[in-house]
Structures are given as structure tokens and as C-alpha cells.
Structure 1
């Protein structure tokens, strides 16, 4: 498996510093969060700026794993604004050489399974262009669809290989699923896996990997047992928890912990 980290843990850092962190701490790739107000990489970049970002990563031997959009596939309202934003992120990912774009479900509370159809309709509409650009759109297990079973309902309606799943282990676990249930549901669609650690069910304060309650060893074991050879991406959500330690100071220990889990499950 390959290891990545998310720039959510280091918001606003210049691209050169992100690349240097990944290279210096021996991570294979980075999940880039794309938000025009917060991040140096977003859909407003010119073609020249996109080429420069891609070149920085390429020259350092670091991959852009994913463009983390804030698109909500099942959000209430008209389809076209959602589709326009989604297509813009697909183009950004393609220009950066990223294989994936992350989207959230984002359904309105109480919308029930009708939100599945809304999300599926939009994702299906965007899928052909994503396929043309060699990009997969991944629905993260998150918010209104936090379990693998929830996301699987959407993907079953889409039925297109350019649309898949991003498994956020925290959300499936908080939704009552163990890795042994989440992985089989997501396996046919799985792009990559986000890992993190938290203090408790009631307290989602981020902790260094291995110091919290999330079933990371079980997750890696399930993946390894099936021969899955994709990406593990560490998501350290410092942005909403400013008092926790800075991510750069934890990267070496995080990489070591993940490699230990991989070796123990081999």
C-alpha cells in the first residue's frame, strides 16, 4: 500500500512546503484540499498555475492523490450548480495528474433515500467527462451517508466505473459499522482509505495515530487479507482543533505507525 496525508492538517501552506513535507517524511502522495478561500490549490487556478503545481509534485517524486472538493452530491436545490462545481474539480484533478476527486453526500436532514437518487443522477451526469479525463469521483462516507451501506446505495444507482467510494474509517465506525462490514460493501467501488484517530465516540479531537479508539489495525488487516493494494491517507483535522499539535511534527510517527500496522497484517 502507498501512504499519503491530507493538507487539511496544514491549511494554507504553500504548495512548495506541502511537497517538501511529503518528500522529507517519505510519504508517497498528498490529498490536496481545494477551497479558494483557504487553500493554494483550487479551481480558480490558471492553466499555467496548474502546470506549475503538477511540475512541483512530479519533480519531487510525490503524487497528487486526490483533489478534495467540498461538492455535496445530494445537496438540495438545482442540479446544474452542483454539476458545474463538480466538473470544475474534475478538470482541476486531471490538470494536476490526480486520479481522484472527493465529494461529500451532503443530503438534507430527513431527505431519506430520495437523496440517493439525487446524488446518483448528478454523479452519473458527471461520470462520462470524468472518464474522458481519467479521473474517478469518490463519494466519501460522511455526513448524511456516513456508513458504507449508505454510500453503497448511491453507487448502486450510478453504476459507472468513474464513480466510486472513499472510505473514511472514522465515519463508518461512528455510524455503527466495523471494518469487517464496511470493506465488503465498499470493495467493488473503493478508491482509497482515509485513516485518523480520535479520543472517543463523544470527542472527535484528533490524536496521533494509535493513541485513540478507532479500529485502525482491524481496518488494515481487512484490507491486507483481501490483497487490497491501494492508498492509506492520514487525515489530521487540525483546522477545527487549533490546540492540537501541528501535523508536520507528527508525520514521521504517523508513517511509522502505518507501516507497523501493514507489517503486522502481512
Structure 2
């Protein structure tokens, strides 16, 4: 099959699910990553009937719900229970929708040492991974904020050592962290859930661009994944929600898919 392509609803803020699925089928994306925030149509506040309806819509469209992009911060200072409760809510929703993954952030604060942040994140992920296993879902720690490189993420995931606790490689953050794609892959390989692709103009201007129009090493990322026979998901995370001046994603989805398909062909 090779790598499969998805996009995140972060790029189409508030768009009804029917329209999101229409964009996926029109432009040849196999899956959709759902931003699991109360602003969006799909979030942990949905009741059982609404959840069943969402799952049925995905099935009818022939599109896979790749994952839920949640906002729990596993390294954040404070009590464990509120963080774990938030993750459990996401894992339950993922199970009900048939989504294999839930995304969490590190979110380590500056008021604690890096060692404390790592230990806190590992402890919470270890506990949450047990719950995830019961639900047949995996939790992915995104390379982001306090832990933006693969090496950073591995300081947490290594000690956890659970099959249901993995990594989400956000190619922008590892690049901003100064890590080469080959280094990130080597660090994350045993734990890699999926990969978020995107493009930006520069380290100083992270406004989202069309894929291939910016500076991120997408060719190298696809090459290294291809070389190792990795056949997971590439998900385009276009951060329209945070950059209102960015071009609308729907008009970029077709050329974006073609760009990724070209990279995959060239890498093969």
C-alpha cells in the first residue's frame, strides 16, 4: 500500500464533518485527523448517538478517522488526575469513532527542571497507555513545545516503554529544533505513530504555506521514511486556525496531494 495521506481539520476550522469528508474524497486523501476541540464539530463532549453518527459518516465516505488531535499536556506542572482525565476522554472518543490514535502535547513548563518534566510526562503516559490498551487506541506524544525533537521525545518514551505510547513526528518542530530528518527517524522509529507534514517560509515566519512552497525538508523526510520501508500516514497539518491570513486550505488540497504523491514516487 505504501504511505497513506490525510489532512487535519486544523486547516478548515469549524467546517461541518460532511464537508470535511467531501474534501477528502474529492482530493484523494485516505484519512482525516480531527482537531478535538469544543470549537469543532467532533470533540469529547459528544454523546453516544452523535459519536455513532460521526463513525457512520466516516464509514459511508470511505475515509478513515486517523486520530484525534487533543490538547492535554503530559509534562505540564500540577496534579496528574486532570491531565489523565482529559486523556481518558480523548481515548474513549477515539475508540467510539474507530480512530487508532490520540495526540497529546508535552507542554513542560519553565517552573520545573527538564528532568522533572520528563519524569512527569513518562509517569502520566505510562498510566494512560494502560487505559489506551484496553480501548485499542494508541497515545502519541507530538514533537512540540518543550520536547520539539525526536531526541527530546525519546527521553520520555524510552522510560515508558509501552506499545500504546508512541510519537507523532511534526516535521516543523524537529526542524526548528535543529534535528535532521534522518536523526529524528532514528530516534523515533520504534515508536513512530504517524508524521505531520506542513510547510513554512522560514524559522521566523511560520505562517502555513502550500506543501513544497517553503523551507521544510519534506523531500528528505519522505526519503528517509521510504528508505526504511515505513508505510504509515502522512498528515498535512495546515495551521489555518492560528493564521487567519493564510490561504484557504480547500483550494490547496489537490496540489498538496499531488506534491506528496510526487515525493513518494521519487523516493520509491
Tell me the TM-score normalised to structure 1 length: 0.99
**C-alpha separation in 2, matches of 1:30 and 1:180:** 26
CA displacement at 1:136 relative to structure 2: 0.3
Kindly report the root-mean-square deviation, in angstroms, between the aligned alpha carbons of the 2 structures.
0.7
Determine the structure 2 residue equivalent to 1:220: 222
Following TM superposition, the consecutive aligned residue runs of length 4 or more in structure 1 with deviations greater than 4 angstroms are none
Determine the structure 1 residue equivalent to 2:16: 14
Determine the structure 1 residue equivalent to 2:86: 85
5+ residue gaps, structure 2: none
1:132-151 maps to which residues of 2 (within 5 A)? 132-151=134-153
CA displacement at 1:244 relative to structure 2: 1.4
Say how many residue pairs are matched: 265
**C-alpha separation in 2, matches of 1:99 and 1:211:** 31
Secondary structure of the residue aligned to 2:109 is coil
Determine the structure 2 residue equivalent to 1:59: 60
Write out per-residue CA displacement over residues 235-264 of structure 1, whole angstroms, 9 at most, x where no aligned residue.
110111111110000000000000000000
Write out per-residue CA displacement over residues 145-174 of structure 1, whole angstroms, 9 at most, x where no aligned residue.
000000001001111001000000000000
5+ residue gaps, structure 1: none
Secondary structure of the residue aligned to 2:19 is helix
Determine the structure 1 residue equivalent to 2:263: 261
1:101-120 maps to which residues of 2 (within 5 A)? 101-109=102-110, 111-120=113-122
Secondary structure of the residue aligned to 1:194 is strand
CA displacement at 1:132 relative to structure 2: 1.2
Determine the structure 2 residue equivalent to 1:171: 173
**C-alpha separation in 2, matches of 1:55 and 1:80:** 32
**C-alpha separation in 1, matches of 2:259 and 2:115:** 38
Tell me the TM-score normalised to structure 2 length: 0.98
Write out per-residue CA displacement over residues 69-106 of structure 1, whole angstroms, 9 at most, x where no aligned residue.
00001111100000000001000000000000000000
Determine the structure 2 residue equivalent to 1:50: 51
Determine the structure 1 residue equivalent to 2:250: 248
